[in-house]
């Protein structure tokens, strides 16, 4: 009888011993299986630990964003400084939906720049944005976001990354500040003496480029036409190239990578044959047309 009782006691302890020796995940499953059935889902998920104080959501310190996510985030404009006037069609709230610091709040100082590129496919809602920031200390950063800007209150399937670029990237991007492309009209159309009517793009990607330097902002919109894209290829190629290789789900949107050689050749061929890009008379903003007339001539 005594031996039988001892054997029964040992068998009773076997499940307890197994639970204690099992991996932490197995132990957690055992605990969760005994959680009271009337608990709200959020509390049942962390049972048997108590639910946090709701006020702590608002009062506890928030983790600081890494430098790569907001390269100019510690800045405050002095009395003599003003944030750039951004008229690229993107509101501050739109930038926040994409998880980016609003361009309207960025304080850019001497020797610095921001280059931003938006991609807009003619068929579909998958968009991407690339932002290059070069600081006065020579460090350069790239931020990328991609998602579907349709059909949901937020940006669907949004993915992104923030990274610092190699040391040699900064001077290369700074050299783009004085490129003649920034003196051309915001909205253009191709004029080719060899054809009687311009082409219509029905399947491709358009690009919006924004350059921010101290005291000046320029916006260029180029439709999904090789000639128009080729005129800004010297900015697109390094920007897209800097953004690739950080997030595979972002990379797959750029099937041709950062190769804009064919578009650049198409633009060069147009110019060599007496054509060029002229201000688009159907551009939607009179303010943009006035800005173009004041700041730059038509492209060759």
pLDDT tens string 114-159: 999 999 988 888 999 999 999 999 999 999 999 998 878 889 999 9
Under the banding of pLDDT at 50, 70 and 90, the label for residue 291 is very low
pLDDT greater than 70 at residue 100: yes
Pairing of strands 140-148, 126-134: antiparallel
| DSSP-derived 3-state class of residue 239 | helix
pLDDT greater than 70 at residue 196: no
What does the pLDDT average to over 14-40?
59
What does the pLDDT average to over 230-237?
96
Confidence at residue 299, expressed as pLDDT on a 0 to 100 scale: 56
pTM of the model: 0.79
- Tell me which DSSP letter residue 70 carries: -
Confidence at residue 148, expressed as pLDDT on a 0 to 100 scale: 93
Q: Which of 41-55, 196-210, 263-277 has the weakest average pLDDT?
A: 196-210
Confidence at residue 204, expressed as pLDDT on a 0 to 100 scale: 84
Do the Cβ atoms of 141 and 230 come closer than 8 Å? no
pLDDT greater than 50 at residue 234: yes
For the chain, domain boundaries: 25-62, 76-295
What is the maximum alpha-carbon separation in the chain?
110
The more confidently predicted of residues 27 and 113 is 113
Residue 117 burial by CB count (10 A; 0-12/13-18/19+): exposed, middle or buried?
Answer: buried
Do the Cβ atoms of 239 and 210 come closer than 8 Å? no
The more confidently predicted of residues 3 and 197 is 197
Confidence at residue 7, expressed as pLDDT on a 0 to 100 scale: 52
Phi, psi of 26 (to 5 degrees): -65, -40
Q: CA-CA distance, 153 to 234, in Å (whole number)?
A: 35
3-state SS string for 142-190: EEEEEEECCCCCCCEEEEEEEEECCCCHHHHHHHHHHCHHHHCCCEEEE
* Count of helices and strands (H, E) across the chain: 11, 8
Confidence at residue 294, expressed as pLDDT on a 0 to 100 scale: 35
pLDDT greater than 50 at residue 295: no
pLDDT greater than 80 at residue 70: yes
Confidence at residue 289, expressed as pLDDT on a 0 to 100 scale: 41
pLDDT greater than 50 at residue 236: yes
The more confidently predicted of residues 44 and 252 is 252
Under the banding of pLDDT at 50, 70 and 90, the label for residue 5 is low
pLDDT greater than 80 at residue 16: no
Identify any residues that bridge with 130 across adjacent strands, giving them in sequence order: 117, 144
Confidence at residue 51, expressed as pLDDT on a 0 to 100 scale: 79
Cα dihedral 246, 250, 254, 258 in deg (nearest 10): -20
pLDDT greater than 80 at residue 227: yes
At 159, list the tokens. 């993915």
Reference 199, options 208, 207, 191, 209; nearest CA is: 191
pLDDT greater than 60 at residue 182: yes
Residue 268 burial by CB count (10 A; 0-12/13-18/19+): exposed, middle or buried?
Answer: middle
Chain position carrying tokens 């039988």: 4
Under the banding of pLDDT at 50, 70 and 90, the label for residue 29 is low
Do the Cβ atoms of 76 and 70 come closer than 8 Å? no
Pairing of strands 126-134, 113-121: antiparallel
Chain position carrying tokens 């959501």: 57
Under the banding of pLDDT at 50, 70 and 90, the label for residue 222 is very high
Confidence at residue 88, expressed as pLDDT on a 0 to 100 scale: 92
Confidence at residue 122, expressed as pLDDT on a 0 to 100 scale: 82
């Amino acid at each position: 009888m005594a031996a039988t009782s001892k054997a029964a006691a040992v068998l009773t302890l076997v499940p307890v011993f197994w639970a204690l020796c099992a991996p932490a995940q197995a132990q957690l499953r055992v605990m969760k299986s005994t959680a009271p059935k009337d608990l709200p889902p959020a509390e049942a998920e962390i049972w048997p630990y108590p639910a946090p104080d709701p006020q702590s959501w608002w009062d506890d310190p928030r983790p600081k964003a890494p430098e790569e996510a907001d390269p100019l985030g510690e800045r405050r404009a002095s009395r003599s400084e003003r944030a750039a006037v951004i008229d690229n069609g993107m509101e501050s709230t739109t930038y926040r939906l994409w998880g980016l610091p609003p361009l309207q709040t960025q304080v850019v100082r001497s020797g610095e720049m921001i280059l931003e590129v938006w991609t807009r496919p003619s068929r579909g809602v998958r968009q991407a944005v690339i932002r290059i920031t070069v600081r006065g200390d020579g460090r350069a950063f790239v931020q990328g976001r991609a998602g579907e800007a349709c059909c949901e209150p937020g940006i669907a399937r949004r993915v992104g990354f923030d990274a610092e670029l190699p040391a040699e990237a900064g001077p290369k991007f700074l050299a783009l500040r004085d490129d003649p492309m920034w003196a051309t009209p915001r909205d253009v159309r191709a004029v080719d003496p060899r054809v009687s009517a311009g082409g219509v793009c029905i399947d491709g990607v358009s690009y919006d480029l924004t350059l921010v330097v101290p005291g000046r902002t320029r916006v260029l919109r180029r439709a999904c036409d090789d000639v128009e894209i080729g005129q800004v290829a010297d900015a697109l190629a390094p920007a897209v190239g800097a953004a690739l290789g950080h997030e595979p789900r972002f990379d797959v949107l750029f099937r041709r990578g950062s190769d804009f050689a064919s578009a650049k050749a198409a633009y060069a061929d147009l110019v060599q044959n007496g054509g060029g890009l002229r201000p688009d008379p159907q551009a939607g903003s009179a303010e943009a047309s006035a800005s173009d007339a004041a700041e730059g001539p038509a492209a060759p």
